[in-house]
Structure 1
C-alpha cells in the first residue's frame, strides 16, 4: 500500500475533469486566493475522585491552537496547524509525567503538529491528503476525541463524492495520532501505524438518512486490534420549529481482520428515539456492544468520551461486552446562549452481571464575546466493575 502513495496523491488531478462541472452564472463565486489565521484557546480545570486511587487528581491546563489556512484558487486549499498545552501543577497522571499514583487525566503538556493537509474541492468531489481531523457520522467509529486538549488526528487520504441525493466516502488511514501526545510513556499510546480502509455510502431524502459502512481496520502495531466492521445507520429527524420527534437506529457486526490471530464475531446495535417539545429534547437509548467473556467489540478510533458516560469507564469495552441503557434531557435558552444536559446511564454486561450506573450533567453559558464557559459533572457508581468515580470540570474556551 505504501508504494501507491504517489499515485493516490495525484488522484485529485486525475479526477478533476470528471468532477468539475461547467461554470454557470448561478454558480457561487470561487474563494479568493489568500491566507488567513485561525486560532482558539481552551482553559480547563478537571478534578477526578476515583476510589481505585489514594489521592484525587487535579489538572489545570491551557491549550492554544494556531493555524494558517491557505486558498490557492481552482479548488485548492491547505491547512497547517500546531498546538501547545501547558499545565499548572502536576497532581495527575497525564500519561507522560509518570505520576501513576494519581488517576489519569489525559492532557499531557507539550507542543506538536496537529494538522497539515492539502485539499482540492469541486462541486461534487472533495479530496484531502495529510494529517487531518476525521469525523464520520456520530463519531461512534471514527472521530477526533475533541474533548481532550490534544485531539486525535489521522495521517490519511480522504475522498467525499456527491452522487445525486447520496454521498460516497472513502478514506485510507496510515497513522492515528492519539490524544496522549508525542511524549506519552507508552509508545503505543502516542500513535499507531495503520493500513485502514473506510468505506461509506449515504443517502438522504427528506427527513430520512441512511448510511451503510465498512471499516477495515488494520493495526500494524497491535495485530489483535485489527477488525472488520460492517453496518448500517438510519436516522429520522422530524423536528421542525423546535418540536417533533427523531429516531436513530444502527446495526453492525465486527470480526477479526488482517493478521489478527483471534477468531470472533460481535454485534453492535443502537436504538435511540427522541422527542423535542418546549425547548427540551428528551432521549431514551439502548446501545449494545457485544462480548463473550474473553473478547468484545471495540471502537478504538472513535470519539469515546461522548458515549457510555463522561466518567470514561468504558473507553475500552470490557470482555463481557456492554449494555448501556440511558435517558437524557437537554436544551437551550436565552436565544441559544445557554445550554444544558442531564443524563442517566445503567450499565450491564452482554455476558455476565451488572457494571454500575452514572449521572451526567452540564451547563454551558456565555462569558464575554467569543468566550464560552462550561460546567460539567460525571458521577459513576460501581456495581461489580471498576470503582466509584466522580469527575468535575470548569472550562472556558475562546474561538477566533
Structure 2
C-alpha cells in the first residue's frame, strides 16, 4: 500500500514540475537557440501468459542547441536522457525478465550532433541525425519510444518545387534500446520523388547491411504514389526485397493500398498492407522503420513472421473537446498460402490527444490484441499509455 502511495506522490510531483518548468527553459542567444522537450509517460501491459503485468513510468528529456546560419553552415547538438520512475517492466536489456516488455530502457545519450550546409535547392549534412523518409514505413526515427532512433550518416538532398533527390550513407544505427544494441552498418538510402497534378510519385532503393563479417545484404526497391481527388485520399505502394544471409537467399514482396475520405468532422480510411513471404521461410522486413505506426500498437509484428503478414485495417479520426481522437481496427492473416494456420488475430486501437497549455500537451492511448490460431507464441495483450509532454 505504501509503495502505491509513494508512486502516486512521485507522479504528482513530476507532473507539477514538468508544467512549471515550461516558462524557464527556452533561451536564445546571438549564436543560436536552446530547446527542451520533456515527456512523462506511463505504460501498462497485461498479457495472457506467465509474465507479470508491466508498469512503467518514464521521463524522457531532450535538450538541444541549434546554431544560427553562418553563410549556409549550421549545426546542432542534442542530448537525450530517459529515467524510469516506476520500473516494474522488462527493459529489453536484461532487467526484470519475468515482466512484460516495455522497450524504454534507462539511458543517457548523445542523440544528434551534425554540421549542415544548406543553400536553395541543396543541402548536405554529416554526423548523428534523424532521418525520416515518406511515411516512416521503411526509414524513421521511432519518435514514439523514449530513446528515439538516430543514424551516424552523411545525407545529401537536392530538389526544386516539383522534384527531390535524397541520398544517405549510414555507418551506424543508433537504435531505441540504448547504446548496448546499436548496430554498425553500411547502408545506402536512395529516395527520389516528383509531384504532378495526379499526385506524388516516389521511387526508392534501400540497401542495408550490418557490419558483422558475414554477407547479410537486405536490398529493397520500390515505388510509391500518394494523391487525392477533392475529399478522397489515396495511396499505393509496391516493393521487392532480396535478403542474403551467408549463402542463403530469399525474396519477398510488399504492397499497400489505402483509400480515405474526409467527411465534415471525420476522416475515414480503409487499407490493405501485405508483407510477403518466401514459401513460408522468410517474411518481408523493414528494420529501420518507425514500426509502432504500423500493424497495431501492441507491437506484435515488429518483425514480420516467416509466413508473412496481411493487415486489413480501418480507421476513423476527428476532433473532439479541443483535441484529436482516432480509433482503428486491424485483422491479421499470414501471407503464405501453404501455412497450416492463417489467422493471426485482430487488434483494436484508440487514442485521444489534446493541447493543455501553450507548451504542454497530453494523451491517452489504448490497444487490445486478440490472438488468432497461428501457433507463434502470440497471446492476448492489453496496453495502455498516459502521458504529458512539454515542448518548447
Q: How does 1:253-332 map to 2 (within 5 A)?
A: 253-256=240-243, 260-291=246-277, 292-332=279-319
Task: Specify every segment of 5 or more residues in structure 2 that has no aligned partner in the other structure, as ranges.
Answer: 1-28
In the alignment, is residue 370 of structure 1 matched against residue 362 of structure 2? no
CA distance in 2, matches of 1:394, 1:53: 25
TM-score by length of 1: 0.86
Q: How does 1:126-205 map to 2 (within 5 A)?
A: 126-163=123-160, 165-182=162-179, 184=180, 190-205=181-196
- Distance change >3 Å, CA 76–CA 118, structure 1 → 2: same
Counterpart of 1:230 in structure 2 is: 221
Counterpart of 2:379 in structure 1 is: 387
Q: How far is 1:54 from its partner?
A: 3.0
* 1:143 and 1:303 in contact (8 A); partners too: yes
Counterpart of 2:44 in structure 1 is: 47
- Distance change >3 Å, CA 224–CA 50, structure 1 → 2: farther
Q: How far is 1:333 from its partner?
A: 4.2
CA distance in 2, matches of 1:33, 1:72: 11
- Distance change >3 Å, CA 152–CA 269, structure 1 → 2: same
SS of the equivalent of 1:305 reads helix
- Distance change >3 Å, CA 396–CA 164, structure 1 → 2: closer
TM-score by length of 2: 0.88
Q: CA RMSD in A?
A: 1.6
CA distance in 1, matches of 2:364, 2:53: 19
Q: How far is 1:223 from its partner?
A: 4.6
Q: How far is 1:263 from its partner?
A: 1.0
* 1:226 and 1:260 in contact (8 A); partners too: no
Q: Give 4+ residue runs of structure 1 displaced > 6 Å after superposition.
A: none
Task: Specify every segment of 5 or more residues in structure 1 that has no aligned partner in the other structure, as ranges.
Answer: 1-31, 185-189
Counterpart of 2:335 in structure 1 is: 350
Deviations 1:241-267 (A, max 9, x none): xxx01101000000025x643211101
Q: How far is 1:205 from its partner?
A: 2.0
Q: Report the more deviating stretch, 324-333 or 268-277.
A: 324-333
CA distance in 2, matches of 1:381, 1:224: 38
Counterpart pick for 1:361 among 350, 353, 358: 350
CA distance in 2, matches of 1:53, 1:119: 50
In the alignment, is residue 81 of structure 1 matched against residue 73 of structure 2? no
Report how many aligned residue pairs link the two structures.
Answer: 356
